[in-house]
Amino acid sequence: MDIAEVKKELNRLRKEIRHHNKCYYDNDSPEISDYEYDLLMQRLKSLEGAYPELITKTSPTQQVGGTARREAGVLVQHDVPMLSLQDVFSKAEVADFVNSAIEALDEPEFVVEEKIDGLSLALRYRDGLLTQAITRGDGVIQGEDVTENARVIKDIKQKLKDSLPYFEVRGEVYMSREAFAKVNDRQELLGLKPFANPRNCAAGTLRQLDSRITKERQLSMFVFNLQAAEGREFASHTEAYDFMKKQGMKVIHNYKVCRTAEEVMATIDEIGASRGSLPYDIDGAVVKVNDFAQREQLGQTSKVPKWAVAYKYPPEEKETRLLDIELSVGRTGRITPTAVFEPVQLCGTKVERATLHNQDFIDELDIRIGDTIRVFKSGEIIPKVRSVNHDLRPEGTEPFFIGDTCPVCGHKAVREESMADIRCTNPSCPAQMENHLINFVGRDAMDIKGMGEQNIHALIEAGLVKDVADIFVLSRHREAMIAAGLIGKEKNTDKVLEAIEKAKANEPQRLVAGFGISGIGKAAARELMLHFHSVDKLAEADAEAVREVNDIGEISSRAIYEYFRDPVNIDIIKRLKEAGVNMELKDSGIVDEKLAGKTVVVTGTLPTLSRNEAKSLIESHGGKAAGSVSKKTDYVLAGEAAGSKLTKAQELGIPVLSEAEFLAMVE
């Protein structure tokens, strides 16, 4: 090939490899095998070896951690395919399946059990010990090794009582509604987007590279099938279940053996009636032949087994009258409208409330108090409003508006441009104070050690803390705090009070980050203080002057301007000063300007530096440490297991640095 052809082939290979990285990292749907992927990489490396002058920093061969997920979550061959079940949506289809099996087999039994709404996982045990956990992957050839995450799921047995040479089971990883609610509360607390449903949350969690996150989110698992066994023969599904139970495994507990289509239908109805009272989501009932030899007799297609079907419950909907629309305020100040209606029975439970999301949703359906609305259960558990029967609308109804006043504190509520949510702007609003205080004492703001969520909640309940300024005069209440055990005994209380006293000397950017101004986090607060040097000067600046600060746009500048002109906030800042909290930037911490005007994103695990250490180095050399990759990013500092941020950098052609390259650049 001439040089032009070489360049063309290099570009083609790099583009193709980046595409497959995106499929793998971001979409969880690899299009080629590891072997095929490796062939592409080998071809690229071979060409680059022959033409080293054409190697670029953004080439997949030059990226640190570029294939980390393939190493950290390697693709494993399935011993037994993890096929999907054939979905059926009517009782007639279930009856056809059962009757066909009865005609083809000798007195078959059917096991009817819950269909858990989660994601499949195969567990492999050798000599009684868990050795591997594998996701479904493509269901036929390979899945991903997630063993380290599986080890921290409480329902997964690490050791079996009976030591078989090989034992493989398949189950469903899921998240209970209680665990899901806690995760989304935490997401909201951190200002992150909540997960759409428990299944999505469980799927994302299982593929996390950090098993600590998996443990924290409290995943659960039911085993629902024997895949393979050596050292013991099993005649049926129920016999395998009995063995698994003796091993301490958590199998699908709501199941029944049936012999006729009528019994199968009755059991499906029983499971359906229990949906509302279960602590987890189910999306149907599975009907499977019990006897393993008969399963072999029926066989399977290339996609589904012929010995089982999954009946999907139809969403239940009912009409009812809308009595009221209540407004509540969440921890971030978001005002949420909730429909209150005449009670109806859905999926076996009484329902009388459903979220209306936001003003856009209300406007789209033209929902008015007094209307007849159609209500259904999303995912068989979450009540939602489907539509309005406008033909039954009574006279005199009026459009509903959330308005611009907080329903809890009466403070101003605003809707940000291009956003659907309306938020209370009062940081002292009782409905959002707890979240605000937790953010204020957190490590990205004032970093007051020992002031955890429980302690904040206890101090609010005791009436000792109503806003952030109250934190810095808690020493006045030392004896009362010790007597009530709000933070602990004397030693622990004194530790926290000492940490509070120490925090008074923090750099002012920590204070500004803790104020909770919309769009102003740690990085933006630092830019503001580097520009204005004190909280007072920032407070005096108009919106136009604030907009001159690097990376502060029109919306953020307006939010800052309005924050410092609110009487409640003016009083808080006055009391913070009186308590001795530092308001001036005494030392910028900038060593030199080697990275001046440059934005650097740190991702993955670096060989010697922690992420915080790397970010501090970026800032001390005049750069900005950002959290996400965009066209404005100048460099990405990537370590092992860099993931999607690295992939995005490659797609945008952003230079990627190893730790050694970064240190050479700044030192």
Share of the chain above pLDDT 90, in %: 46
Say if residue 584 carries a ligand binding annotation. Answer: no
Domain boundary among 372, 389, 424: 424
pLDDT, mean of residues 368-372: 96
Place of tokens 């709404």: 117
- Give the pLDDT confidence of 314-354 residue by residue, as tens digits: 777 889 999 999 998 876 788 999 999 999 877 656 789 99
**Residue 25 pLDDT exceeds 60:** no
Q: b/e per residue, 527-552, with b = 16+ CB within 10 A?
A: bbbbbbeebebbbebeeeebbebeeb
Of 347, 332, 393, 29, residue with least CA distance to 193: 332
Q: b/e per residue, 149-163, with b = 16+ CB within 10 A?
A: bbebbebbbeebeee
Q: Is 336 in the same domain as 304?
A: no
- Give the pLDDT confidence of 446-496 residue by residue, as tens digits: 999 888 888 898 898 898 998 999 999 999 999 999 999 998 889 999 999
- Give the pLDDT confidence of 91-109 residue by residue, as tens digits: 999 999 999 999 999 999 9
Least confident of 3-12, 53-62, 624-633: 53-62
Q: b/e per residue, 64-94, with b = 16+ CB within 10 A?
A: bbbbbbbebbebbebeebbbebeebeeeeeb
3-state secondary structure 602-626: EECECCCCCHHHHHHHHHHCCCEEE
The pLDDT assigned to 70 comes to 36
Task: Report the chain's mean pLDDT, rounded to a whole number.
Answer: 86
Give the confidence band of 64 by pLDDT, cuts at 50, 70, 90. very low
The pLDDT assigned to 26 comes to 46
**Residue 41 pLDDT exceeds 80:** no
Helix/strand number for the chain, H first, E second: 26, 22
**Residue 386 pLDDT exceeds 70:** yes
CATH code at 652? 3.40.50.10190
Active-site position among 7, 15, 57, 115: 115
- Give the pLDDT confidence of 521-535 residue by residue, as tens digits: 887 888 899 889 899
Say if residue 246 carries a ligand binding annotation. Answer: no
Q: Is 464 in the same domain as 552?
A: yes
**Residue 381 pLDDT exceeds 90:** no
Say if residue 84 carries a ligand binding annotation. Answer: yes
Q: Does residue 70 lie within any of the structural domains?
A: no
Q: Is 548 in the same domain as 612?
A: no
Q: In this predicted model, which residue has the larger pLDDT, 611 or 151?
A: 151
pLDDT, mean of residues 285-296: 97
The pLDDT assigned to 331 comes to 64
pLDDT, mean of residues 514-526: 85
How many residues appear in the chain?
Answer: 667
Q: Is 642 in the same domain as 550?
A: no
Say if residue 162 carries a ligand binding annotation. Answer: no
The pLDDT assigned to 590 comes to 65
For residue 387, what are the β-bridge partners?
Answer: 374
Q: Does residue 338 lie within any of the structural domains?
A: yes
pLDDT, mean of residues 225-254: 96
Q: Is 118 in the same domain as 96?
A: yes
The pLDDT assigned to 65 comes to 30
Q: Is 361 in the same domain as 390?
A: yes
Domain boundary among 277, 295, 312: 312
Say if residue 23 carries a ligand binding annotation. Answer: no
Q: Does residue 278 lie within any of the structural domains?
A: yes
Q: Is 398 in the same domain as 503?
A: no
Domain boundary among 312, 338, 353: 312
Q: Does residue 412 lie within any of the structural domains?
A: yes
DSSP track, 12-63: HHHHHHHHHHHHHHTTS--SS-HHHHHHHHHHHHHHHHH-GGG--TTSGGG-
DSSP state of 463: T
Say if residue 406 carries a ligand binding annotation. Answer: yes
**Residue 141 pLDDT exceeds 90:** no
Q: Is 102 in the same domain as 209?
A: yes
CA distance 415 to 508: 29
Q: Does residue 123 lie within any of the structural domains?
A: yes
Q: Is 336 in the same domain as 372?
A: yes
CATH code at 35? 1.10.287.610
Say if residue 486 carries a ligand binding annotation. Answer: no
Q: Does residue 80 lie within any of the structural domains?
A: no
**544 lies in which domain range?**
430-578
Instruction: Give the total number of structural domains in the chain.
Output: 5
Q: Does residue 71 lie within any of the structural domains?
A: no
Q: Does residue 73 lie within any of the structural domains?
A: no
Say if residue 85 carries a ligand binding annotation. Answer: yes
Q: Is 470 in the same domain as 619?
A: no
CA distance 110 to 488: 57
Q: In this predicted model, which residue has the larger pLDDT, 366 or 183?
A: 366
For 425-546, where are the alpha helices, taking DSSP H only?
430-441, 453-461, 468-471, 478-484, 490-503, 508-514, 522-532, 535-540, 543-546
Give the confidence band of 86 by pLDDT, cuts at 50, 70, 90. confident
Say if residue 36 carries a ligand binding annotation. Answer: yes
Token code pair at residue 546: 């604030």
pTM of the predicted model as reported, rounded to 2 decimal places:
0.51
**Residue 188 pLDDT exceeds 70:** no
CATH code at 364? 2.40.50.140
**Residue 572 pLDDT exceeds 80:** yes
Q: Is 108 in the same domain as 157?
A: yes
Say if residue 296 carries a ligand binding annotation. Answer: no
**Residue 23 pLDDT exceeds 70:** no
Say if residue 113 carries a ligand binding annotation. Answer: yes
Q: Is 541 in the same domain as 608?
A: no
Say if residue 258 carries a ligand binding annotation. Answer: no
504 is catalytic: no
